[in-house]
Structure formats: structure tokens, C-alpha cells
Structure 1
Amino acid sequence: MQKLAGAGVFERVAPNHFAEQLRTESLSVGTYSIPAGGIDDQAPHHEDEIYVVTTGRATIVTPTGTEQVGPGDVLFVPAEEAHRFTDITEDLALLVFFAPPYSGRG
């Protein structure tokens, strides 16, 4: 058992911030922080992702749809699918699960 201290907590590091809290052979977990009014400039990843919104509000845009998101929402984004958070109206913190572990490319 391992407690992931600080996972899902917003960190104000300009312009955006990703901090990895756990890495195993099969998955990795981290926190992605985007400040209110910020720009999400991420590219598609080579891993499946699950996002859990811990704080903030935004819109996620993918080729398959657009959804407003807020605390408690859980999102699945398959590997290689383009996605971006827009209209970030409150500081956004996302707990991110990658499987397989995040490769750092994308």
C-alpha cells in the first residue's frame, strides 16, 4: 500500500504543471494543473488516460465530443486521441492515470 500525498492538488507553476506521484510497470499516476484562463497545449499521448477532476471547471474537447467538466467528473481518453481542456474558468487540477505508464512523449 502506498498513500499518494499531494495527488490531485492544484499547483501554480506557470504556465501548466504535471507532477508524477506514482509509476509501476503497468500504470502511472500524476496531477496536471492548469490555471484559470490558461492554455492546455498537450499533444495526444501514447497511453490510455483516465482524468479525475479534483478542482476547477473547464471544457474538454475531443474529436468525439465536447463536455463541460467540474469536480468529481471522470473522463476516459483512449491512446492517440487528440484532446484539450479549454474555457478554464477556475484553477483546474486533474488526477491523471496512464496505462501503460506515461512515456513522457506526446
Structure 2
Amino acid sequence: MTTIPDDVLHISETEASRLLPNLPSPFAVLFERGDVSIELYAPRGADTQSPHTRDELYIIASGSGTFRRADQVCEFTIGDLLFVPAHVDHRFESFSDDFRTWVIFFGPEGGVQT
């Protein structure tokens, strides 16, 4: 895990993306505080993630493609925001070679109950 210290004011997506090729997994944990965790994620070839135990947001940093959340499918591009509730199957099914996304996990285990 690569976490930025609390005293850092700015996290550059470009600089953070340089960490990814040297890591064993396609993501880097960059910031954690309370019930928030922020990662940069860049799968290569196929997205093999499984459902998570917390709610999450994706903010597309680069690239484009299609995203599946349960039986819903949408196209995405730079700047788009995608939401996935805890425990819901999801994945990036098709994406360009330059695809990277911020991942923001938030709230309690099991997701926010509304």
C-alpha cells in the first residue's frame, strides 16, 4: 500500500499513475482518513475485481469504455462519475489502453443504509 501522509496538500494524478507499473496490483491506495479511502486504479487487459464491502465512487481520470453495474451498462469517458453500492457486482468491461480512474471508498462496511 502506498499512502500519502496527512500533511500532503496535493496528489497529482499524473505522478500517482507512475506508481502503478511498479506495483503487484493494478491500484495504489493514496489516501486514507476516517471512513474514506482514495485509490488510483488502472486495470490492464481485463477488470477482475469482485464486489466490495463499502460504497464507492469512480471518477474517470483518463480513457473511455463501458462499465457494468449488476445488469446496468453505461459508456464512460474522462471526468465521468460512477457510483456502486456495497456488495454489488461491477466491472469495467471494455476500456482504452490509457484508462485510469480515481476510486473513492466511503462510509461504513456494508454501505450506507438509506
TM over 0.5: yes
Structure 1 residues 90 and 57, CA gap change in structure 2 (3 angstroms): farther
Contact 1:41 1:84 in 2 (8 A): yes
Give 1:62's aligned amino acid: R
Q: Which has the higher strand share?
A: 1
Q: Percent identity?
A: 29
Q: Measure, in 2, the Cα distance between the counterparts of 1:53 and 1:62.
A: 15
Contact 1:15 1:34 in 2 (8 A): no
Report the TM-score, using the length of structure 1 for normalisation.
Answer: 0.79
Match of 1:44 in 2: 51
Task: Report the alpha carbon displacement of residue 57 of structure 1 after superposing the two structures with TM.
Answer: 1.1
SS for the counterpart of 2:47 is: coil
Residues 1:74 and 2:81 aligned together: yes
Match of 1:19 in 2: 28
Q: Measure, in 2, the Cα distance between the counterparts of 1:53 and 1:89.
A: 12
SS for the counterpart of 2:63 is: strand
Report the TM-score, using the length of structure 2 for normalisation.
Answer: 0.74
Q: Measure, in 1, the Cα distance between the counterparts of 2:17 and 2:53.
A: 25
Which sections of structure 2, spanning at least 5 residues, go unmatched?
Answer: 1-6, 110-114
Contact 1:58 1:90 in 2 (8 A): no
Alpha-carbon displacement from aligned partner over 1:5-46 (angstroms, at most 9, x marks no partner): 3477474468861101100112010100123xx100000000
Which of the numbers 90, 94, 102 marks the counterpart of 2:97? 90
SS for the counterpart of 1:34 is: coil
Q: Which runs of 4+ in 1 moved over 6 A?
A: none
Which sections of structure 1, spanning at least 5 residues, go unmatched?
Answer: none
Which of the numbers 40, 51, 57 marks the counterpart of 1:31? 40
Count of aligned pairs between the two proteins: 100
Identify which of structures 1 and 2 has the higher relative contact order when contacts are C-alpha pairs closer than 8 Å and 6+ apart. Answer: 1
Q: Measure, in 1, the Cα distance between the counterparts of 2:79 and 2:12.
A: 19
Contact 2:13 2:61 in 1 (8 A): no
